[in-house]
Amino acid sequence: LPERDRAELKRRKLLLEVTLKSYWIRKGSAFSTAVARPETELTPEMISTGSWRQLPFKPYNFSSLGLPPACGHLHPLLKVRSELRQIFLEMG
């Protein structure tokens, strides 16, 4: 269609343009039907037997954040002191 006719049909909503995308999927060099989970920890048994050389390991993420530190707690004597203070305040 000429551009002028196509614009007229689009204006009258008689023409709908659709973009189609297609992909070709092929087996790559690392294709496998079995899912192998990489190792996350190096154990003493792996070191002694030398099996760690053939195992795939999960890459370490140095930019991840660690767990937040646990909050502190009051000393038991401070807890008793605050409870006594509250009791005396309630008594007047």
- Residues 46, 53 contacting (CB under 8 angstroms): no
For 20-31, the pLDDT digits (tens) are 999 999 999 888
Q: What is the pLDDT of residues 35-53, one digit of tens each?
A: 888 999 999 999 999 999 9
pLDDT confidence band for 34 (50 / 70 / 90): confident
Question: Is pLDDT of 12 > 90?
Answer: yes
38's CB contacts (< 8 A; 6+ apart) are 55, 56, 57, 58
Report the pLDDT value the prediction gives residue 69, as an integer from 0 to 100. Answer: 83
- pLDDT (0 to 100) of residue 36: 82
